[in-house]
Structure 1
Amino acid sequence: MGETGRTENGEWARDTARGAGGVAARQGRTLVVLAGPTASGKSALALALARALGGTVINTDAMQCYRELRLITARPSPEDEALAPHRLYGVRAAAEPANAAWWRGAALEEMNNCGLPILCGGTGMYFSALINGIAQVPEPGAQARTEARALLAELGAPGLHARLDAETALRLKPNDSQRVARAYEVLLGTGQGLAAWQRQTTHRLEGWRVRMILLDPPREVLREAIAARFAAMLAAGAVEEVRNFLSLGLDASLPLMRAHGVPELGAYLRGEITLGEATARAVLATHQYTKRQMTWFKHQKLTGTPDMQIIQSRIAGFEQLSESFIGNLVNFINFPG
């Protein structure tokens, strides 16, 4: 099968397996799905695999697609992005909400334009949209979006929820302002409820051999990592980053306004709580979110069991990964069985 090791300058050497089963013959239709909860080390592992295999890391995190908050959303650093191709990070303005349909189209384009795509993130809905298909909801238009946001501000989420069609309303929580506003703008702009559009799903992903790696570290290890990461964010300037972001005066219902750490640091900046209280709240909210993430990944089918590896540990950094560890994952990606 060939060997994977370090070159003299410390970079991972690419496996040069030959023949029909080798990476050179097959990597163009292989898709690596690297998923897991927040702070589990996905970005570090994706970078190591991209360097080992000449792959491209494609963002599959709903918050990391926005450009305004690199620190608080834990986007890869410019230094890491320089070590391997990274796509769909920081490509949208916060005022332009992304959704699964947009991401699916953008990801497919990137996948078709690179050798080995490595999808990396924790947004399960994005992974499912790509692999299992998604409804093609027409764009409702700027006027419908503006009216929906105005009514949301006037009536509140429950009031706007009461104006939805019955089928869609049953699927949404009345206080979920982002989804309620999105559903109302679809109803307003297309004349048909979101639930009706969602019954018309696209086909599943075809022509790709999916190899999934799921990180599932112990809960206590993850909690400690979340706390340490948030402390590092603060030390790197996250408070000032959030201050600058909030000064834009964006709609409070926009997705990035709810990124972990933004509401909490916003409350601190307004003098409502201390920085210690903001930190504790952000760490707790993030940890609770990781529980929901892992529940989702454990109950949603993205690929068959033989095409999945579960790693029950946290990846601290790509420099600390052993050659044998990366070599085993390279073999899992390249060879069936």
Structure 2
Amino acid sequence: MISPGLPRVALIAGPTASGKSALALALAEKHRGTVINADSMQVYADLRILTARPSEAEEARAPHRLFGHIDGAEACSAARWAGEARAAITEAHAEGRLPILVGGTGLYLRTLIDGIAPIPGIDPAIRADVRALPVADAYAALRLADPLAAARLNATDSSRVARALEVIRSTGRTLADWQDRREGGIGGDIHLGALILLPDREWLGERIERRFGTMLATAKDEVRRLLSRIDVPGDAPVLRAIGVDEIGKVLAGEWREEKALAAGATATRQYAKRQYTWFRRQPPGGWELTTETDTYRNLSHIERKLFL
């Protein structure tokens, strides 16, 4: 049901290689849309091919925002992206265009729609101490300080374990406590037409295999340029893009291409599995899920959510 008087925003999300970009572009061309990136790796300028950003030809078919606009030496947070996405949505509405959010980073989308937890700045000394810990030690400390967070997290997820630990050590409150008090979300100010693409996993796995093979054949130059930059810190998020390590080892002569292909495709399938889990469990009401893979059937589906 359309919320009267509220500006429309489309949201197309799902795991990597699910066809969401094609659907977003089809919707943009039919309804004068602006495509707004919601993928945490596609924000970086350095890796167009490896992160499957839209091509220049695709970008010429409709306005695109927040794709490749951040240098790889920087780090983009969910809060930064949400602020930029709010501005891009406002700009699209001012131009009489339909904002179309597209991506697979659930944290970004929830931050924009629901708001962000008002967590105070972390004490720099505490952050330095926590980030210096081996992940096993940090996880053991988190189990003592915040056992519920530890139970939710993968023991080897160094960034999320460190974040949960530094928050409770610096603020005296758990990350979950802070996240219960979100502020600044736009969900109540828009009519959101959301469609989550969750195709058959075997179908998706075949697409992932083919796509990573193409990336391996065509992305070597951009990976070489990224890895040659002395200004990109070793913990820069862009270096965690799937394929950087695998192709880097091929370039260094450490791996044969066959090994890199197998490792990269496996890592991508594992990432897609985590996205499946998130989108099945986390989205609020109204974020409809579909297994449909035909772009134009999905186009009709999201049109009904937006306009009927």
TM range, smaller chain:
0.7 to 0.9
Alignment of 1:138-177 (within 5 A): 138-140=120-122, 147=128, 152=131, 154-161=132-139, 166-167=145-146, 170=150, 172-177=153-158
Is 2:76 aligned against 1:98?
Answer: yes
Alignment partners' CA distance in 2, 1:214 and 1:91: 25
The yes-or-no answer on 1:220 pairing with 2:198 is no
Residue matched to 1:11: none
Identity across matched positions, percent: 43
The amino acid of 1:281's aligned partner reads A
Alignment of 1:1-337 (within 5 A): 29-115=7-93, 116-140=98-122, 147=128, 152=131, 154-161=132-139, 166-167=145-146, 170=150, 172-183=153-164, 194-202=175-183, 205-236=187-218, 238-249=219-230, 250-304=232-286, 308=288, 310-313=290-293, 315=295, 321=296, 325=297, 328-329=300-301, 331-336=303-308
Shift in Å, 1:260: 1.2
State the shift of 1:104 in Å. 1.8
Kept in 1, the 8 Å contact 2:17–2:207? The answer is: yes
Deviation (angstroms), 1:232: 2.1
3-state SS in 1 of match to 2:261:
helix
Residue 84 of structure 1 deviates from its aligned partner by: 0.8
- Secondary structure in 2 matching 1:230: helix
Say what the alpha-carbon RMSD is for the aligned residues.
3.0
Query: Residue in 2 aligned with 1:12?
Result: none
Q: Which moved more, 1:107-116 or 1:183-192?
A: 183-192
Q: TM-score, normalised by structure 1?
A: 0.76
The 1:326–1:194 alpha-carbon spacing in structure 2 relative to 1, beyond 3 Å, is: closer
Deviations, residues 160-200 of structure 1 (Å, cap 9, x unaligned)? 45666812863654432222444566568768664553343
Matched to 2:182, the amino acid is T
Change (3 A) 1:244 1:48: same
Compare CA radii of gyration and give the structure with the larger one. Answer: 1
Distance 1:248 1:313, change over 3 A: same
Contiguous gaps of at least 5 residues in structure 2: none
C-alpha displacement at 1:117, in angstroms?
1.2
SS of equivalent to 2:9: strand
In the TM superposition, what is the alpha-carbon distance from 1:208 to its structure 2 partner?
1.1
Partner-residue secondary structure (3-state), 1:197:
helix
Read off the aligned partner of 2:7 and give its amino acid letter. R
Distance 1:70 1:145, change over 3 A: farther
If the length of structure 2 is used for normalisation, what is the TM-score? 0.83
Deviations 1:200-244 (A, max 9, x none): 3226521211111222222222112112212222333x1221122
SS at match of 2:183: coil
SS of 1:206's partner is: helix
Alpha carbons 1:147, 1:185 under 8 Å: kept: no
Out of 186-195 and 33-42, give the one that drifted further: 186-195
Q: Does the aligned pair in 2 maintain the 1:42–1:120 contact within 8 Å?
A: yes
Q: One-letter code of the match for 1:166?
A: A
The match for 1:14 is none
8 Å CA contact 1:65–1:89 kept in 2: the answer is yes
Cα deviation for residue 54 of structure 1 reads 0.7
Q: Distance in 2 between matches of 1:327 and 1:123?
A: 21
The alignment covers a number of residue pairs equal to 297
